[in-house]
Structure 1
Amino acid sequence: MLLKDKTLLITGVLMDSSIAFHVAKLAQEQGASVILTSFGRTMKITQTIAKRLPSTPPVVELDVANQEHLDSLAERLREHTDSLDGILHSIGFAPQGAFNFLEGTWEDVATALQVSSYSLKALAVAGLPLMAEGGSIVGLTFDAKFAWPVYDWMGVAKAAFESTNRYLARDLGPKGVRCNLVAAGPIRTTAAKSIPGFEQFERIWDERAPLGWNVSDPLPAAQACVALLSDWFPATTGEIVHVDGGVHAMGQ
């Protein structure tokens, strides 16, 4: 089993159709112990969805925009584990105003950057006291090399997110911790539903993908995350693995 005897912290489990849910499910099937995070009104949702996993994991409160939550995370995790072998960052949010590039306010953009970009560093630092050497941090992105329709300031936040990953790889590598991202194609998730006009991606992605693309299948992206969380990529860090049917490599 790829993750035998490992302990993973997994964020972003809100629906059983989400990539994060399938990472948690695969991780358990591959031998890992899993701890989930959630906060506020979504805590009950996460706790309910957690029961659909092979083994019901604990859910720890974590709002990545709350510094007290971050500062106390390691201590609260110690109630469930002595160490972490991996962290999945599956967190993203932008106010509706951030999906209008020219009219988006700094307040909207600042929120998007804090929650969707800076949080990768914040989560890594919060979990670092428990991270074992050889540990792995994996985040989920949507290829930020392009100016996508409707994505607007969230696209800018993802560009910052991808840059943050590279700097984390630089600074955490000497500590024996790898940092990589999975750039997934469009999946019908809670985050996608919050983006106005996201169905534009759904219509064209399958046509452009050499391998084809199923917007209702989060499993390929989840499998890539599990592989990166395992020991099978010991010398890979600062990388972005595309799981998008090959769209990233095609011209228009």
Structure 2
Amino acid sequence: MAKLSLNQATTKHWGLADAVDGCARAGIPAIGLWREQVAEVGVARAAKLVADAGPRVSSLCRGGFLTALDPAGQRAALEDNRRAVDEAAELGTDTLVMVVGGLPPGSRDLAGARQLVADRFGELAPHAEAAGVRLALEPLHPMYCADRAVLSTLDQALELAAPFPASVVGVVVDAFHVWWDPRLLPAIAAAAGRIASFQVCDWVLPLPSDALLARGMMGDGFIDFRVLREAVEAAGYSGATEVEIFNADVWAAPGDEVIATVARRYVTEVLPDQLS
């Protein structure tokens, strides 16, 4: 259990205090925080709540949404992301997950949108480096390309990260988003030294009408998590495995019940066979 982390999204209806207390009760040693829940109590109080309860902060989600075309929108995005970097540092995590943003309104220029992200990273990276926070690029499944992330593969994320030191810009391997990619295992190997976060949840069918809520509990779908875990570990990643689930049925269940299932499925579905 030493590497297990509960991403706050999995217990969406719990506030921060409930989530960190739930982790402490269940013996889950880390938690991935979301800025919205942190903002409800304030960054300083959030940092104290986590420190008092015991779990370490494995990541802060999220920064990004950097594809505005207009100068005012670009300035606002950079200001918000600099705040997110500072929040991550205050919360005691060196990982800020970056969902880069979709196509600008009215645009069909994917290459141009990716260049916008690259340009904004060039402006944001020095602030992150000074704060000791790593910008963790998260490629999202292609069905989210239009509205959430113009990065759809790990290869694309690595290409964007390449001009920056690995300690400043890393990548996220989120099983839900990348499991389908025929180049995934070579890309994970190429990501050695850059993997900043490893996230798991399952791909389940049928997809709901809201594709954002398509994530299932590990073992309920089609992803071979052990293969992915072995690949990220072979690439040198030794950090937390965050369970991040967006699912209406999971959200409707009692939080302690969800955490118990998370811990059980982590052992049976993610860890080596001899531990299950």
Q: What range describes the TM-score normalised by the shorter chain of this pair?
A: 0.3 to 0.5
Q: Which has the higher helix share?
A: 2
Give the TM-score, by structure 1 length: 0.41
Give the TM-score, by structure 2 length: 0.39
